[in-house]
């Protein structure tokens, strides 16, 4: 059974792409489908096939909800046809990074497609990323509930980077889904700049001696410790979902 793990959230800016990157670090041979208005996962090689192992294939989408709605329902659904076709063509473990304003549309389509995909030997799982924002929590609840009937496994990653999330509300939103946490990190500006340059994949490749020349020995050590801790925390947060993906 080929497994596909969808990473979703209708609200933007909650760390969804960071969670996708963590999953890609945990399952390096997984193919990645990126559904975004602009390509963000630029540290990965571009895939030539539908689901080429270890690569990313970008599917450009309209930038905002207003543009999607202006196109009309039929046009918006047709825009996702290439994505659905790529899911049917999957032969290896695959991650799908679904951009903001697109998750509800795609998951709605998959509610109808999931039985046929399963009959073709393809099983779908869902990871929903939540943050402290009320909108993100509300959207997460809707996405998880809508996928209850067709998702073989559901996961919630609570990202506390932008603030603590009320545990009572979080438990209610997650329901029966497997819940993990990404603790908040206070990264210095220079550390954030280094992270932005190479993302999670670049952290393990950082050269301390080179970094010390660009900053100072003390600052280089601090940057490396903070980024290594952040990378490990992300991978720990995605561990249950990653294990489900590779067990297929």
pLDDT tens column, 148-160? 999 999 999 999 9
pLDDT tens column, 7-16? 999 988 899 9
Both structure tokens of 231: 């990378």
Query: Edge-to-edge strands of the sheet including 153-159?
Result: 45-46, 55-60, 31-36, 94-98, 2-8, 122-130, 153-159, 178-182
C-alpha distances in angstroms, 140 versus 72, 74, 83, 215?
Answer: 24, 25, 22, 41
Report the chain's terminal Cα–Cα distance, integer Å: 6
Q: For the chain, give every domain's residue range.
A: 2-186+237-247
pLDDT tens column, 178-207? 999 999 888 999 999 999 999 999 999 999
Please provide the average confidence, as pLDDT, over all residues in the chain: 91
The pTM score is 0.92
Asked if 109 and 86 count as a contact pair (C-beta separation under 8 A), the reply is no
pLDDT of residue 67: 58
CATH topology of domain 2-186+237-247: Rossmann fold (3.40.50)
Asked if 95 and 215 count as a contact pair (C-beta separation under 8 A), the reply is no
pLDDT tens column, 42-61? 999 988 776 788 899 999 98
């Amino acid at each position: 059974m080929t497994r596909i793990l969808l990473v979703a959230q209708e609200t933007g800016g909650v760390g969804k792409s960071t969670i996708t990157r963590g999953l890609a670090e945990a399952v390096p041979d997984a193919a990645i489908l990126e559904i975004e208005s602009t390509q963000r996962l630029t540290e990965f090689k571009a895939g030539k096939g539908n689901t080429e192992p270890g690569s990313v294939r970008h599917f450009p989408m309209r930038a905002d909800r207003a543009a999607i709605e202006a196109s009309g329902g039929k046009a918006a659904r047709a825009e996702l046809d290439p994505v659905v076709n790529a899911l049917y063509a999957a032969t290896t473990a695959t991650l799908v990074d679904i951009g903001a304003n697109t998750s509800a549309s795609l998951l709605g389509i998959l509610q109808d497609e999931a039985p046929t995909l399963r009959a073709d030997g393809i099983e779908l799982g869902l990871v929903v990323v939540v943050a402290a924002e009320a909108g993100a929590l509300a959207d997460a609840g809707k996405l998880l509930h809508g996928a209850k009937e067709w998702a073989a496994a559901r996961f919630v990653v609570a990202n506390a980077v932008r603030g603590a999330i009320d545990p009572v509300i979080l438990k209610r939103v997650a329901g029966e889904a497997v819940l993990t946490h990404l603790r908040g990190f206070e990264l210095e500006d220079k550390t954030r700049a280094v992270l932005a340059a190479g993302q999670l994949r670049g952290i393990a490749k950082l050269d301390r001696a080179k970094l010390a020349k660009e900053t100072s020995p003390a600052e280089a050590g601090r940057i490396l410790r903070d980024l290594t801790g952040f990378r490990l925390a992300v991978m720990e947060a995605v561990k249950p979902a990653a294990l489900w993906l590779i067990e297929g």
